[in-house]
Amino acid sequence: MRPELHSRAVYCVNLNSNKKLFQRDSGVLVHPTSLANEYGIGDFGPCVHRWLEILAEHHQNLWQILPLNPAGYGDSPYQGLSAFAANAVFLSPEHLFEIGLISGSFLESMRLPPSASVDYPEVYQNKLKLGLEAQSNFARLQSGHWLREQYEAFLECESEWLDDFAIYYALKARFDRVAWTDWPEAFRDRDPAALDAALKQCACDIERAKLEQFFLRLQWDQIRATAKRLGIRIIGDLPIFVAHDSVDVWCTRELFRLNADGSASVMAGVPPDYFSKTGQLWGNPLYNWGRHREDGFSWWRRRLRRILSWVDVVRIDHFRGFEAFWEVPGDAETASGGSWVKAPGREVFEAFVEDHGLPLPVIAEDLGVITPEVIALRDDFQLPGIRVLQFAFGTDPMRETFLPESYDGNCVAYTGTHDNDTVVGWFNSQPGAGSTRNSTEIEAERAETLAYFGGDGSKIHESFIHSLYTSGSSAAIIPVQDILGLGSEARMNTPGVSSGSWRWRLDSTEALQGAMRALGALTQSTERGLCSRAVEPNNY
C-alpha cells in the first residue's frame, strides 16, 4: 500500500473552546524501544500497530512515549542529537521490506536473539546496515516512482531543519562520533569553505541521513493512522533543554549561552532532590532568552509545531524551567552550587496560544521545586499538571497533593514516571538505590503505604492502579512495568547514573494478556478511556 506523506498541519482548537484536554482518559506509558519484536529493539513497524490494537482492545485511549529524537550521551532520549529529527533505531525493516527496499533474505539477516534488554551497540550496527541497504536500493528506483515523488516532497517540506541535521549527522560519523566542540576548528565553527567541502566528501552519508528521516516519517504516519482509527491519542515528550552535543546548538549558537569555543558557560540541572544529595547536573546549555525574545520565540514555535505534527498531545519535561531554571556554572562538578534564574515562560506560552489556541495540547510536568509562580503559569494557560502516586508517601513537602483524593479534573495521574523505580521496586527498595532515602525513611514510607491501602503489599501495583482509575484525575497513565507488577530490574531510568538506563524491553506481548484484561475490566467499571467516549472525543 502506498502511504501518503504527512502534511505540516497543526492541530488547533478555537481560542474560545470550552473543551478540556482530557475527560476521564486512560492509557499506558511505554517507549517504542521497549516493545517486543525480532530486531533487538522496538521500532516503527508492526510491533507498534500490534501494541495499539492491544490498547484499544482493553479500552485504553492514550499511549504515552518518551522523546523520539536521535539519542545522544548514554543512549538517553533526553539528550537528543536533534530537536527536530527522529532516531534511526526506529527504522522498521519489515516496512522497508513491504515497500520493496530490502529483500526477504536481508530481512531475515536483521533478526536478533530475543532479549529483555536493548543491546544498543549491536542495534546501532544493525540499523546502519539497514539504512545502507535501503539507500542502495532506493538509488535504483526509476524516475517517477511514487517513493521518489514522496521523497522530493519531503525534502521540500522539511528543508528548514533537515539539511543542517544531515550534514551534522555525516560529520559526526566522519569524526568518530565525538562532540562537535571537539571537531577540527573549521567544522566546529561552521566555516563555509569547510562545509562546502563536506557536502561533497560526505555526500553519501548526507543522503542516507535524509532518506532515513523520510522512511521514519512514512512509517510513523502509518502508526498515526492506526491510532486515529482506533480512537487512541499519542502523548509525546518534549524536553525543555536540548543536548549540548546537538545540531541545534552547533547551528544556532547565538540561541544558547556558550563560550567562544562552543563550550557551555552555564549548564542546566536541578538542586539536591529525591534522586541525588548533590542535585542533578544535566550538562545541557541554557538558553540565551534575550535572543529568543528578539525574533518572537520562533525556534520554540517551530519546535512545538514539529512535535505536534508527530503526536496529539505533548508533555513538556521540566515545565518549571519556563518560570525559573537552576543555573550552574559551566565548570561545576555538581549541581549543588547553582541558583534560580527567572525565565520568560509566560511570553513563550502566549506565543504558543497564538499558534494553537486554548486549551493547548500540552501537559506540564510540574514536579520538583514548585512555587506559586510555577502554579500560576501552569493554571493561567489551563495546562494539566501531573501527579505521581509514589510521591504521596514520604517526606515530599507537597505529598498531600499526590494523594488520589486531592486530584482534580485537570491533572494527569501516574503510578510513576520513566525516572521512578517501578511501584514494586519502590515498595521493596533499599537505601541508596536510585534515591536519597535512608532505611528509616523507607520503612516509614512502606508502613504509611500499607496503612493507606491495607493488605500486605503483595499486590501493591494493583492497589496503585485501582486508586488512580477511581480518582477524579482527568487522565490516568500507567507505565507498562507497573501493569505487569515488575520489580526494579524493569526500571527504565535511574537519574544520575550515566549508563545502563533506557534498555528495558518486553520479551513478548503474551505476558501482558492477563494484566491487560484486568486493566480493561477496571477501565470499564470506572468509565475511563474508550469507555468514556459517550462524551464527545477531543480531537486536536
C-alpha cell at 506: 518486553
pLDDT at site 134:
98
Q: What is the crossing angle of helices 345-356 and 372-380, to 10°?
A: 10
**Distance, CA of 88 to CA of 90 (rounded, Å):** 5
- 279 and 270 in contact (C-beta within 8 Å)? yes
- pLDDT greater at residue 51 or residue 18: 51
Is 419 labeled as catalytic in the residue annotation? yes
- 96 and 215 in contact (C-beta within 8 Å)? yes
User: pLDDT confidence of 434, banded at 50, 70, 90?
Assistant: low
Least confident of 48-57, 80-89, 374-383, 432-441: 432-441
**Distance, CA of 379 to CA of 385 (rounded, Å):** 9
Question: Residue 143: exposed, middle, or buried by beta-carbon count in 10 A (0-12, 13-18, 19+)?
Answer: exposed
Amino acid letter, 183: W
Tens digit of each residue's pLDDT (9 = 90 or more) over 278-308: 888 899 999 999 999 999 999 999 999 999 9
Which among 4, 27, 154, 31 has a CA at the least distance from the CA of 90?
31
**Distance, CA of 160 to CA of 8 (rounded, Å):** 13
* Residue 19 pLDDT greater than 80, yes or no: no
* Residue 366 pLDDT greater than 80, yes or no: yes
Find cell 478540556 and name the residue: 20
Give me the residues paired with residue 475 across strands. Answer: 25, 412
Which among 80, 119, 13 has a CA at the least distance from the CA of 236?
80
pLDDT at site 128:
97
Give the number of other CB atoms < 10 A from CB of residue 335: 24
Degrees (nearest 5) of the Cα angle 49, 133, 76? Answer: 55
Is 122 labeled as catalytic in the residue annotation? no
Q: Which of 133, 317, 421, 462 is catalytic?
A: 317
* Residue 15 pLDDT greater than 70, yes or no: no
* Residue 536 pLDDT greater than 50, yes or no: no
pTM above 0.75, yes or no: yes
Share above pLDDT 70 across residues of the chain, in percent, rounded to a whole number: 94
Buried b (16+ CB within 10 A) or exposed e, 424-436: bbbbebeeeebbe
Tens digit of each residue's pLDDT (9 = 90 or more) over 105-140: 999 999 999 899 999 999 999 999 999 999 999 999
Which among 18, 20, 6 has a CA at the least distance from the CA of 361?
20
Amino acid letter, 499: S
Is 365 labeled as catalytic in the residue annotation? yes
* Residue 189 pLDDT greater than 80, yes or no: yes
Q: Which of 273, 419, 445, 462 is catalytic?
A: 419
pLDDT at site 435:
66
* Residue 367 pLDDT greater than 70, yes or no: yes
Mean pLDDT of the chain: 93
Average pLDDT score over residue span 175-183: 97
**Distance, CA of 213 to CA of 95 (rounded, Å):** 14
Q: Which of 365, 421, 445, 482 is catalytic?
A: 365
Spacing of C-alpha 455 from chain mean position: 35
- 144 and 152 in contact (C-beta within 8 Å)? no
* Residue 219 pLDDT greater than 50, yes or no: yes
pLDDT at site 431:
84
pLDDT at site 535:
45
C-alpha cell at 273: 532532590
**Distance, CA of 516 to CA of 112 (rounded, Å):** 27
* Residue 4 pLDDT greater than 80, yes or no: no
Tens digit of each residue's pLDDT (9 = 90 or more) over 407-420: 999 999 999 999 99
- 279 and 326 in contact (C-beta within 8 Å)? yes
Average pLDDT score over residue span 57-81: 96
Average pLDDT score over residue span 485-502: 92
Spell out the alpha helix ranges (H) of 323-459. Answer: 345-356, 372-380, 423-427, 439-453
Which among 308, 212, 303, 223 has a CA at the least distance from the CA of 7?
308
C-alpha cell at 113: 536473539
**Distance, CA of 459 to CA of 462 (rounded, Å):** 5
Tens digit of each residue's pLDDT (9 = 90 or more) over 326-365: 999 999 989 998 999 999 999 999 999 999 999 999 999 9
